[in-house]
Every structure is written in structure tokens, then in C-alpha cells.
Amino acid sequence: MHSKLGKSDVCIITGTGIKIDLKSFVKTKQLDYSEFDLPKPTTASHKGYFEVFEGQNSRIIIANGRFHYYEGLNPKELRALPQVLCETHPKLVILTNSTGGLNPFFKKGDLMVIKDHINLTNTNPLIGIDSDNKFVDMVDAYSAFYIEKLKESALKLSIDLKEGVYVGVSGPSLETPAETRFLRLIGADCVAMSLINETITARFFGVNVLGVSIITNVNKPDCMGKIPIEEVIAQGGLASKKLSILLDDFLVTNDFNQKRT
């Protein structure tokens, strides 16, 4: 366990343009990734620091910024950030990201809870790991229990929470119209270049995972428009308020507290 962070109840990793503001919790600490031998993320808007929040029922650690395969990282480097968080022994890791919508019924600014994923990143964070437990069963990659709990919070708050399948690709180039049609055909509802390696790492450590995607744009293969990274960052930021309200209620409503030493 990393003593600088201490134990946690829930950990959150933020995606492009996303900033989580927990109104019901008090920020007690901020630590740079460099203090944990983690490099600074190179993708725009990924800041590279941890925040620790204390609440009545739980202790939350937020990792602001993540690492991507397209940054030239090897499997060990891809699992480093989620491993730091998992070593704080949380009950749950919440992964957020900004994605392109594939489902034609989605719209810009929607939130989607991930019920399953398709790994097209061409890598896996457990490649080369020296462990007999590396053959992780992914049938329950995303916790059905916590998905239902998040839905309950969304219903209470009148937040339209979509549910669907996320497909992860390597990037950094975006999808062609033909690729968009293919991703729709195989059952994906949104697409991005992150999150899957963190899910696999967390499940390797036996930690429950909840994934929430922000739909920053909707890919329409018959009339594809350009999607500048600045627009993705801006839309992620705009939807962060709604996501923060949802996660704040979810964290306050549910009992994550565990005995800490």
C-alpha cells in the first residue's frame, strides 16, 4: 500500500476534459503522480495528480488524468496507475472517459454506464506479468450491483443515464466512416481510446469496476464531421457537472466504508 495515499473506499480515474467535483466531500490532500514514480500524462487536459476526499461514509481518491496505449507505453506502464489505486484496497474503482457515440439514439452530453466492453486496443496490461492469476475472467468486468445502484441515483436525480457497450481502440487517429459502421455492427454503443486497460488491471486485483462514459459527439458514418480534440475536451468539461452530481449522490447514498488502519 502507498502510505502517502492511505486506504480508500472508492477510487475514480478521470478522462479527457473531465473534472469531478464532489460537493458532499472535503478535499484533504493533493499529490502529484511523480511522487509515485508515475510520469506526467502527455494528453491534453490530463493533469497528473491525485486528490483525496473525506466524507461521512467513505474516503475517495481521484486520479486526475490517465495514460493511453498511443502514448507509447508498454503493458507494465499501462497498469501502473490503476495498480497504485488498487493497492489502496478500494471496494470500487470508477472509470470515466469521453467517448464518441455510435448508438444513433445517443446525443452529445449524454452519460452512459458501461455494461460491457470490446477490447480492440491490440494490447493487454497483463501481458508479461509474472503471476499465475493473469488469466482473469472478464465475465463480470463491470459490477452489475453497482450499475443498478448508479441507475437508482440517476432516477432519483432525473438524470437520463444511458447503458451500453464500450469499445476501446488504440488511437490516436479517429475512426473512418467504414470503421464506424463496423463498430456499430459488432454491437458497440460508444468508442474511445482508454479505460479498458484499467478495467482489466482492477479485475486482476479483485476490485469491482464501474464505468461511465460521457458522449462528447455522435459518429454518423454517412455524414462524418471533423472532431477536434478541443471540442472533446470542451464537451467533457460541460458534462462533468452532471457527472459530478450523479457520482456525488451515488457515493453518499451507498455504504462503501470499510475499516481503515
Q: Label residue 76 by pLDDT band (50, 70, 90).
A: very high
In a domain? residue 3? no
Residue in the structure block whose three cell numbers are 490530463: 46
Number of domains in the chain: 1
1, part of any domain: no
Q: Within a domain: residue 2? A: no
Contacts of 17 (CB under 8 A, 6+ apart): 45, 98, 214, 216, 232, 233, 234, 235, 236, 237, 240
**Residue 218 binned pLDDT confidence (cut-offs 50, 70, 90):** confident
User: Does the pLDDT at position 170 exceed 80?
Assistant: yes
CATH of the domain at 92: 3.40.50.1580
Condensed to tens digits (0 to 9), the pLDDT of residues 87-104 reads 999 999 999 999 999 999
* Structural domain boundaries, residue 40: 10-253
Q: Is residue 112 part of a domain?
A: yes
Answering whether pTM is above 0.85, one says yes
Residue 96 pairs with which residues in a beta bridge?
A: 212
Q: Tell me the pLDDT of the chain averaged across its residues.
A: 92
Kindly report, residue by residue over 34-58, the tens digit of the pLDDT: 999 998 898 888 999 999 999 987 9
User: Is the pLDDT reported for residue 162 higher than 90?
Assistant: yes
Residue 261 confidence (pLDDT): 36
Residue 227 exposure: Cα atoms within 13 Å on the Cβ side: 24
- 5 in a domain, yes or no? no
Residue 81 has pLDDT above 90, yes or no: yes
**Percentage of the residues of the chain whose pLDDT score is greater than 70:** 95
Kindly state whether residue 122 falls inside one of the protein's structural domains.
yes
Lowest mean pLDDT, pick from 107-111, 194-198, 232-236 = 232-236
Rounded distance, CA 171 to CA 104, Å? 22
Q: Residue 95: inside a domain, yes or no?
A: yes
Residue 260 lies in a domain: no
